[in-house]
Amino acid sequence: MNSYSDWFFARLPVTRELAAPRRTAHARCAQAGFTLLEILIVLVILGLVAAVVAGPQVFKYLGTAKSEAAKVQLERVAGALDLYRLEVGRYPSQQESLTALVDPPAGLPNWNGPYLKKREAIIDPWGRPLNYRIPGQYGEYDLYTLGADNAVGGDGENRDITNY
């Protein structure tokens, strides 16, 4: 022993902490948290539980939301049709269709449109053009969408939505 420090450290009790402090600290740190795989497994389980419990309710509200949006859309298009009639003197013909609310038909000097800002306003929430019939069976014109199933009749999301 050449120095006092060698003599001092030789007399200290050797414990695992003193013998390998880095290894022990690393081992403690590795056991203190969760692995990425464990976190992903928990997230997948939570997602499955949410899908089973809340899934049907969410889909029910999504279906009714599209039907409600279609009602509002039909009212907005009906208002645009009434404004068109006030300015032009008549509703758009069957040949002109609802596109006359967005694009000017040929030979109409009183057309002051567009009466709808976007062409998407005449597309129903299911991605199909709104149905327009003039003369209508139920009024001066019929404006309707056939719902999600695109067939006459139906319940829930498949029901027809009309202006009459």
Q: Per-residue DSSP letters for 49-89? A: HHHHHHHHHHHHHHHHHHHHHHHHHHHHHHHHHHHHHHHHS
Let me know if residue 116 belongs to a domain: yes
Indicate whether 30 belongs to any domain.
no
Task: Tell whether 35 is covered by a domain.
Answer: no
Please count the structural domains in the chain. 1
Contacts (Cβ under 8 Å, ≥6 apart) of 129:
98, 122, 123
Assess if residue 102 is contained within a domain. yes
Which amino acid, residue 58?
A: V
pLDDT at residue 12 in the model: 63
pLDDT for 19 equals 52
Residues in Cβ contact with 139 at an 8 Å cutoff, skipping those fewer than 6 apart: 163, 164
pLDDT of residue 156: 77
Q: Is residue 139, in this structure, part of any structural domain at all?
A: yes
Model pTM score: 0.59
Q: Residue 150: inside a domain, yes or no?
A: yes
In-domain check, residue 104: yes
Q: What is the pLDDT of residue 73?
A: 93
Per-residue pLDDT of the chain (164 residues; tens, 9 = 90+): 566 667 666 666 655 555 555 555 565 555 667 788 889 999 999 888 877 777 666 666 655 788 888 999 999 999 999 999 999 999 999 999 999 999 988 888 888 889 998 899 999 998 999 999 999 899 999 999 998 888 888 887 888 889 88
Range of the domain at 90: 56-162
What pLDDT is attached to residue 50?
A: 78
pLDDT of residue 41: 92
pLDDT at site 2: 63
Does a structural domain hold residue 95?
A: yes
What pLDDT does residue 82 have?
93
CATH number, domain containing residue 116: 3.30.700.10
Res 1: pLDDT? 53
